Amino acid sequence: MSYFDAASAAPLHPVARQALLAALDDGWADPSRLYREGRKARMLLDAAREAAAEAVGCRADELSFTPSGTRAVHTGVAGALAGRRRTGRHLIVSAVEHSSVLHSAEAWEADGGQVTRVPVRRTGAVDVESYAAALRPDTALACLQSANHEVGTEQPVAAVAEACRAAGVPLLVDAAQSLGWGRVEGGWSLLTASAHKWGGPSGVGLLVVRKGVRFAAQGASDERESGRAPGFENLPAIVAAAASLRAVRAEAEREAVRLRALTARIRARVPELVPDVEVVGDPERRLPGIVTFSCLYVDGETLLHELDREGFSVSSGSSCTSSTLTPSHVLKAMGVLSEGNVRVSLPTGAAEADVERFLEVLPGVVAGVREKLGAPVPVAVTEADVLVVDALGKRCPIPVIELAKVIGTVPVGGRVRVLSDDEAARLDIPAWCEMRGQEYEGEEKAERGTAYLVRRTG
């Protein structure tokens, strides 16, 4: 089985396993106690904090261990907003942040705060000028991920941090995806990360709050972790997280070169091997191991199941694979195709032979899924020189498949009106038009669902 979903959770690093087992024997006592066992546990905790702080590039007393990366985000956002409540109640996030940041933003709005969601370019990166323009005198906090978890695009953190510094606004950086590869550059104020993203054990997060940043921890607290993560520390997991972070950093430069070559091969070969594919994300400013592409006329959930049957574990941002049946907020914000979406995220040590086998298997898998979905016959009628395709009640990619089947039957300059009640069509039909060189003229309300108007240009 080839595991290609390291962006969700990286396999446990051998160093993490060794450190975890050792700490289970020596780090079980309460590190706040003064007797011998407690002192030994305190020494392990202090050493882990020093190692993690060195990797981040901060002071040890600025770093707290939390029960997860999500908890680090929620604590960091809430504490920074509370610490700067006299400044105002305005929060800035990018449209492609991890759900933990967006959920914090939603909670802030529900409590009466204001949130600006900065849009991104088609590559998935924010425009620095647009982000800077969102800063206001009452902005209490700004948030920006270091790199995107779905498409791998790196964000211009240093430039945004400089704009925030000039405005006197702290910047919180979610570094979950990138910290294993290197430090986050720039004058950020708060940083969060999660150990299971770099090969550490799950259940350990990092929260860094720079000295001088106003911060007021919310909720019940105690004396542990500067009052930012109450409760008994999971010391064995913390020790393993710090040890594995140091280990992956030692390998990062060499491994990044190798994985970049493999993902570049996937980015180049997939469009050659599989027709009607859009490779998404920035082609240059990206993490080493992540490559994402979307396939027209493919059900994402079926595609993932078929790849699993062939021995490949991959993930997807397709609406067809989610319980809400809505497209990934990241793909939607980028304005790219969401149907048949596949994210390949290679773990450290991923074999070249496995990547080659993936490229051999993928064309047949996609063709098989398309064949299964090609059966529906489009229901089309002509109304006032406009061909109407009734795709109501059908989930994407069926509306796009039916559009593709009839576009060639209308004359150049003619129009097709696609009726759909699937939210994913709002993203997928414009994306299909851009890929196929047709003109998307917009949408309008229909008696049921939404009508999407496409003009044939060639």
Strands of the sheet containing 114-118, edge to edge, are: 63-66, 205-209, 190-194, 171-174, 139-145, 90-94, 114-118
Angle at 314 between CA 310 and CA 319, to 5 degrees: 115
Of 301, 204, 290, nearest to 5 by C-alpha is 290
Closest C-alpha among 301, 311, 294, 327 to residue 96: 327
The whole-angstrom separation of Cα 381 and Cα 97 is 42
Q: Which residue type sits at 234?
A: N
Token pair for 63 = 């770093």
Q: Is the dihedral of CA 271, 274, 275, 278 positive or negative?
A: negative
Distance (Å, whole) CA 60 – CA 245: 15
Q: Do 419 and 389 touch, CB atoms closer than 8 A? A: yes
Helix runs in 84-207, H state only: 99-110, 128-134, 157-167
Buried b (16+ CB within 10 A) or exposed e, 332-370: bbbbbbbbbbbbbbbbbebeeebbeebbebbeebbeebb
Alpha-carbon distance of 30 to 37, in angstroms, equals: 8
For every residue of 397-435, DSSP letters joined together read THHHHHHHHHGGGSPTT-EEEEEE--TTHHHHHHHHHHH
Q: Of 264, 267, 428, 402, which is closest to residue 340 (Cα–Cα)?
A: 428
Question: Quick check: is 320 catalytic?
Answer: yes
CB 56 within 8 A of CB 191: yes
Which of 58, 143, 320, 396 is an active site residue? 320
Catalytic residue positions, numbered: 320
